[in-house]
A = this chain, B = another copy of it.
Amino acid sequence: MKIGIVGSGVVGQVVGSRLVELGHEVVLGTRDPAKLDEKKRGADSLRGWVAGAGSRARVGTFSAAAAHGEIVVNATHGQSSLAALRSAGETNLAGKILIDIANELDASKGMPPLAIARDAPGGSLGERIQAAFSNVKVVKALNTMNANVMVDPQALAGGDHTAFICGNDQGAKATVRRLLESLGWRDVVDLGDITAARGMELLLPIWLRLWGKLGSIPFNFKIAR
């Protein structure tokens, strides 16, 4: 499948490499594709990423990534997601599935950063993206764990933990569920329409506390039931 990723930081790179590994053709979209050798925080340079990811991987503009993808992934920082997606282009995104894995965090007051999401109508990034791009099928997913867990859930606790999805389009959610299952997810819980993105994004405050406490070990939420 052709997949475009908007955002070329560590999350975009890790997800992109794994999707290539699974046989997909990936264009990793970055703000300025000329900066191939710039070191990314916690990640490879884009030249290094392409070299490592292999022949089905390319780097392009946000717009090239969106035009390429049958599915598009929003892997930008939440604070710049709307601007990045506008730059990716409404017509390039029209009618497509957009998997929103971003979180809107405010690090201006120190660490841990504060989640901007609120439990109110339009209070999540997922809802705001859906409202801004009404003919895109937004599915919120994978925003509740770190990138290594996203792409290799089986490496943590034998895969016995939970991925959440939500969105307004049933067909889009079915496609995203299959994609998650192909990554190794066994417990994918559909929370309903895109307003459930609030609950998913509001896992970040406790996630960040746990991250501060548990350090670099992989962890994730599981819904015991």
A interface residues (Cβ-Cβ under 8 A, vs B): 114-120, 156-157, 160-161, 164, 189-192, 196, 198-200, 202-210, 212-214, 217-225
Contacts and interface: CB of A to CB of B under 8 A. Distances in A.
A219 to B, nearest CB: 4
Interchain residue pairs A-B with the least CB separation, the first 8: A199-B206, A199-B205, A161-B224, A219-B225, A157-B224, A202-B202, A115-B119, A222-B222
A99 B58 CA distance: 54
Interface-centre pick from A114, A202, A203, A213 (highest chain B CB count, 10 A): A202
The winner among A117, A157, A209, A220 for most chain B CB atoms within 10 A is: A209
A118 B202 CA distance: 9
Contact of A224 (B119, B200, B205, B221): B221
A206 B163 CA distance: 12
Contacts of A223: 210, 219-222
